[in-house]
C-alpha cells in the first residue's frame, strides 16, 4: 500500500483570489432561551462577516434584531425580534462567509434566569447581568441594603442586564453593599429565585492615562500596588504601571503606560488585594465602570529653580513627554546682555516626571537672564502642547549660586 501525502485545507481560505474568505469548519446551533440563537464555529471567523445580519435567516421566519460575535471569535449570538417557540425545531441559514448551509437546532428553555454578576458603576448606579434575556423588570424585583429599592430600572442591550440608579444620591455611598433580586422573569415565563449579592461601590474617575480610586475608608498603603489595578482587552490584562500616587489616605491615582492606556468608551477597572488597617480585604472581583475623559489640558510651568549656575529645573503642572523635553531646540536662554547661553542637554528629572532639567554650556550671568520654553508636550495620548513661556531669571552672585524666579515677569505668548 502506498502512503499518499496530502495538505490539510485550512478552515478559512481564499476561494477566489479576491480576498473573500469562506469558513470550512464545523458549525452547530443551539437555543437555550426564547430570544437567542447561538451559532458555534470550531474555528475563528471575522467580525465583519459574522456580525452582518443579512448573512443569517431563520426557517421560522423570525426577524433578526442583532448579531454579536464573542471575544474569541468562535461564537455568534443572534437575538430575534419577538420570541422563538419553546421545544420546537428550527434552523438558521448561514451564508456568504461559509458554504451556505442550514444549521438545525431545537429551542429548549427549561431553566430559571439567574444573576451572573453585579458590577458597580461608581456611586450613582450598579449593573446586574443575567444568564439570559429577562423582561418586565420593576423596582419591586430589587432590595438594596435590606430596604425596598426606589430608583430607575433601565434594561441593557438585548435584555441581558439592567442598570439600577437609586433616586437617593447617598444610597450607593463608597463602601460595601448588598443587593437582593427576586421574581425576575425570562421570556418563557420562568421566575428567578431570591438571590443576594455583595458588591463594593468604589468612586472612580479616569482619563486615558490614569484612574483615581476612592475607597470607603483609609487603606493600608503597603497593599496598594499598580499591578493589582487593571482593565481587560479580551483575555489580556492591561495593568497600571509605576508608582501609585496617594492623594489622600483613601484616595489613590494609578497611571497607565501608553501601551496600556484606557479605551475611549466605558471600561471596567478591576481592583485586587487592597486591605484596611484591620486586614479586611476588598471583595474579590471588585470592579468599577468608568468612562475616561480625554485630557485636553495644556501643561503649564509651575516653578523654575536653579540647581546651580549651569543647571535649571523647570517644574510643570503635569507629566511631560520625554522626547519633547529632550529636544534642546525647545529652550532658549539669554544672558543679561541678550546673548545666547547654549543649552547642552535637557531631559526629564529621573525622580519626577513633571520636572525637566536643563543643562547649560556656560554659567548664567549676574543679573537678569531670560528662559524661553516652547513645544513641550504632556505625556497623555493627545500630547497636548504648552504655550510658549518666557521666564525672567535673576542670578545672584553669593557664596552659592542661587536662581530666583521673578513671577511678575512671566510672559505667555498666545497665537
Question: What is the chain's pLDDT, residue by residue, as a tens digit (415 residues)?
Answer: 333 333 333 444 434 333 445 667 788 999 999 999 999 998 888 888 889 999 999 999 999 999 999 988 899 999 999 999 999 999 999 988 776 578 999 999 999 999 999 888 878 889 999 999 999 999 999 999 999 999 999 998 889 999 999 999 889 988 889 999 999 999 999 999 999 998 888 788 898 889 999 887 889 999 999 999 999 988 899 999 988 999 999 999 999 988 899 998 889 999 999 998 888 888 777 888 888 988 888 999 998 888 888 999 999 999 999 999 999 999 999 998 999 999 999 999 998 889 999 999 999 888 888 999 999 999 888 889 999 888 777 664 443 344 444 333 344 443 3
Q: What is the pLDDT of residue 111?
A: 95
Instruction: For residue 234, give the nearest of 72, 57, 54 by alpha carbon.
Output: 72
Residue 206 CB neighbour total at 10 angstroms? 21
SS3 325: helix
Q: Is residue 5 part of a domain?
A: no
Helix (H) or strand (E) holding 48: helix 47-50
Same domain, 280 and 355: no
Decide if 185 contacts 136 (C-beta within 8 A): yes
pLDDT at 412: 43
Q: Is residue 100 part of a domain?
A: yes
**What's 171's domain CATH number?**
2.60.40.1220
Q: Which of 222, 212, 219 is nearest to 254 (CA)?
A: 212
All cell numbers assigned to 271: 481592583
CA distance 251 to 335: 45
Give the C-alpha distances (Å, rounded to integers) separating 20 from 46, 49, 92, 227, 302: 11, 10, 22, 42, 57
Residue span of the structural domain in which 140 resides: 115-201
Please give the order of strands across the beta sheet that includes 311-316.
Answer: 301-308, 311-316, 352-360, 343-349
Find out whether 318 and 353 touch, Cβ atoms under 8 Å: no
| 332 and 404 belong to one structural domain | yes
- Cα 241 to Cα 98, 255, 258, distances in angstroms: 44, 6, 10
**Assigned domain for 295 exists:** no
Q: Which residues pair with 102 in a beta bridge?
A: 93
74-107 CB burial, b ≥16 within 10 A, e <16: bebbbbbeebbebeeebbbebeebbeeeebebeb
pLDDT of residue 288: 85
**Distance (Å, whole) CA 374 – CA 186:** 62
Residue 1 lies in a domain: no
Residue with cell 489640558: 297
Same domain flag for 197 and 207: no
User: Does residue 163 lie in a domain region?
Assistant: yes
Strands of the 151-155 sheet, one edge to the other? 151-155, 161-166, 126-130, 115-120, 287-290, 267-271, 229-233, 236-239
Together in a domain, 77 and 158: no
User: Looking at the domain assignment, is residue 4 inside a domain?
Assistant: no
In a domain, 7, yes or no: no
pTM of the model: 0.58
Query: Same domain, yes or no, for 102 and 171?
Result: no
pLDDT, residue 21, reads 52
Beta-carbon contacts of 25 under 8 Å, excluding residues fewer than 6 positions away, are: 11, 41, 42, 43
Q: 119 and 147 share a domain?
A: yes
Q: How far apart are CA 186 and CA 167, in angstroms?
A: 26
Sequence-distant (6+) residues with CB within 8 A of 314 are 301, 303, 304, 355, 356, 358, 371, 373
Q: Are residues 16 and 103 in the same domain?
A: yes
89, part of any domain: yes
Residues 170 and 229 in one domain: no
d(CA 288, CA 119): 7
Instruction: Give the Cα separation of 26 and 414 in Å (integer).
Output: 64
Same domain for 100 and 23? Answer: yes
Grid coordinates representing 399 are 557664596
Count other Cβ atoms within 10 Å, centred on residue 182: 14
CB 115 within 8 A of CB 128: yes
Which H/E stretch holds residue 47? helix 47-50
Q: Give how many domains the chain has, as a whole number.
A: 4
Place of cell 496530502: 6
Give me the residue label for grid cell 490539510: 8
Nearest alpha carbon to residue 124 among 158, 65, 164, 64: 164
Give the per-residue pLDDT at 152: 95
CA-wise closest residue to 211 among 270, 259, 165: 270
Place of cell 460575535: 69
Strand partners for 103: 92
In the three-class reduction of DSSP (H, G, I as helix; E, B as strand; rest coil), residue 27 is classed as strand
Of the residues 107, 136, 170, the one at which a domain ends: 107
Residues whose CB falls within 8 Å of the CB of residue 167, separated by 6 or more in sequence, listed in order? 150, 151, 152
Final residue of a structural domain among 142, 169, 201: 201
Q: Looking at the structure, do residues 100 and 125 belong to the same domain, yes or no? A: no
- Note whether 180 and 220 are same-domain residues: no
CA–CA separation, 332 and 121 (whole Å):
48
> What are the residues facing 270 on neighbouring strands?
230, 287
Which run of H or E residues covers position 312? strand 311-316
Which of 290, 319, 336 is the last residue in one of the domains?
290
147 and 98 in one domain? no
Amino acid at each position: 500500500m502506498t502512503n499518499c501525502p496530502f495538505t490539510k485545507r485550512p478552515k478559512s481560505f481564499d476561494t477566489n483570489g479576491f480576498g473573500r474568505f469562506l469558513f470550512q469548519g464545523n458549525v452547530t446551533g443551539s437555543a437555550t432561551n426564547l430570544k437567542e440563537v447561538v451559532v458555534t464555529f470550531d474555528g475563528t471567523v471575522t467580525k465583519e462577516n459574522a456580525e452582518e445580519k443579512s448573512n443569517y435567516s431563520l426557517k421560522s421566519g423570525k426577524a433578526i434584531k442583532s448579531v454579536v460575535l464573542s471575544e474569541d471569535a468562535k461564537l455568534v449570538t443572534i437575538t430575534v425580534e419577538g420570541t422563538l417557540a419553546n421545544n420546537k425545531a428550527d434552523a438558521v441559514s448561514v451564508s456568504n462567509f461559509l458554504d451556505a448551509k442550514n444549521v438545525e437546532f431545537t429551542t429548549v428553555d427549561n431553566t430559571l434566569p439567574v444573576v451572573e454578576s453585579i458590577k458597580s458603576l461608581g456611586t450613582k448606579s450598579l449593573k446586574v447581568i443575567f444568564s439570559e434575556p429577562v423582561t418586565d423588570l420593576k423596582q419591586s424585583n430589587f432590595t438594596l441594603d435590606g430596604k425596598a429599592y426606589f430608583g430607575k430600572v433601565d434594561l441593557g442591550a438585548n435584555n441581558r442586564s439592567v442598570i439600577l440608579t437609586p433616586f437617593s444620591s447617598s444610597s450607593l455611598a463608597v463602601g460595601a453593599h448588598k443587593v437582593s433580586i427576586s421574581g425576575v422573569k425570562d421570556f418563557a415565563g420562568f421566575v428567578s429565585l431570591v438571590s443576594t449579592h455583595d458588591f463594593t461601590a468604589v468612586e472612580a474617575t479616569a482619563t486615558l492615562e490614569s484612574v483615581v480610586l476612592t475607597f470607603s475608608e483609609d487603606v493600608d498603603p503597603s497593599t496598594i500596588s499598580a499591578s493589582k489595578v487593571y482593565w481587560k482587552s479580551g483575555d489580556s490584562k492591561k495593568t497600571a504601571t509605576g508608582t501609585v500616587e496617594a492623594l489622600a489616605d483613601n484616595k489613590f491615582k494609578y497611571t497607565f503606560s501608553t501601551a496600556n492606556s484606557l479605551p475611549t468608551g466605558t471600561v471596567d477597572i478591576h481592583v485586587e488585594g487592597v486591605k484596611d488597617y484591620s486586614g479586611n480585604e476588598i471583595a474579590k472581583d471588585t470592579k468599577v465602570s468608568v468612562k475616561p475623559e480625554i485630557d485636553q489640558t495644556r501643561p503649564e510651568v509651575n516653578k523654575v529653580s536653579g540647581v546651580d549656575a549651569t543647571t535649571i529645573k523647570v517644574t510643570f503642572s503635569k507629566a511631560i513627554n520625554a522626547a519633547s523635553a529632550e529636544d534642546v531646540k525647545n529652550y532658549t536662554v539669554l544672558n543679561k546682555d541678550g546673548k545666547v547661553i547654549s543649552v547642552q542637554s535637557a531631559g526629564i528629572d529621573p525622580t519626577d516626571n513633571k520636572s525637566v532639567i536643563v543643562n547649560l554650556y556656560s554659567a548664567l550671568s549676574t543679573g537678569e537672564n531670560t528662559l524661553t520654553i516652547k513645544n513641550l508636550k504632556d505625556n497623555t495620548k493627545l500630547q497636548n502642547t504648552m504655550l510658549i513661556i518666557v521666564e525672567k531669571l535673576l542670578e545672584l552672585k553669593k557664596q552659592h549660586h542661587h536662581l530666583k524666579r521673578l513671577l511678575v515677569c512671566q510672559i505667555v505668548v498666545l497665537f
